[in-house]
Amino acid sequence: MNKERRIADLPEFDMAQYLGTDEDIAEYLRQVLEEGEPGELAAALGHIAKARGMTEIAKASGIKREALYKALRPNAQPRLDTVQRVCKALGVTLTAKVTVPPETPTTGQGHRRV
């Protein structure tokens, strides 16, 4: 028999519970960065900090715990300095790579023509 469930009775999803290894964390960050949704990076760093221990990350980053929760909530727009300090405390780096669409001609020096 199917018993009806209220949405309020469902358990709340907590991404931090699924970030148990460094590989999990790296893949999660990779996907968030690849999707490119504004504000999601802050939330992702918040989930990772929660998985690692917010108090420890606050100490390691030199940012007060309350300020860290505020800066890393969904759709927050933390300063680059904050993101860098949190990443360092988490032991992760964000990297950039050049992407040139196939239809865009390039010069011999690897620069796009304008």
75 assigned to some structural domain? yes
56 assigned to some structural domain? yes
Distance CA 25, CA 27 (A): 5
Confidence (pLDDT) at 6: 82
97 assigned to some structural domain? no
Beta bridge partners of 44: none
The domain of 25 spans 13-90
29 assigned to some structural domain? yes
pLDDT in tens, the chain (114 residues): 567 878 777 778 888 888 989 999 999 999 999 988 878 999 999 999 999 999 999 999 999 999 999 999 988 999 999 999 999 999 999 888 888 776 755 555 555 555
Confidence (pLDDT) at 114: 55
* The three-state (H, E, C) secondary structure of 1-17, written as one string: CCCCCCHHHCCCCCHHH
Confidence (pLDDT) at 78: 94
103 assigned to some structural domain? no
111 assigned to some structural domain? no
Confidence (pLDDT) at 106: 59
100 assigned to some structural domain? no
104 assigned to some structural domain? no
Long-range contact pairs involving 65-72 (C-beta distance under 8 Å, separation at least 24): 71/42, 72/42, 72/43, 72/45, 72/46
Q: What is the pTM of this model?
A: 0.75
Alpha helices in 3-113 (DSSP H): 22-35, 40-52, 54-61, 65-71, 80-90
Distance CA 67, CA 49 (A): 13
User: How many structural domains are present in the chain?
Assistant: 1
Confidence (pLDDT) at 59: 97
Distance CA 35, CA 46 (A): 17
Confidence (pLDDT) at 108: 57
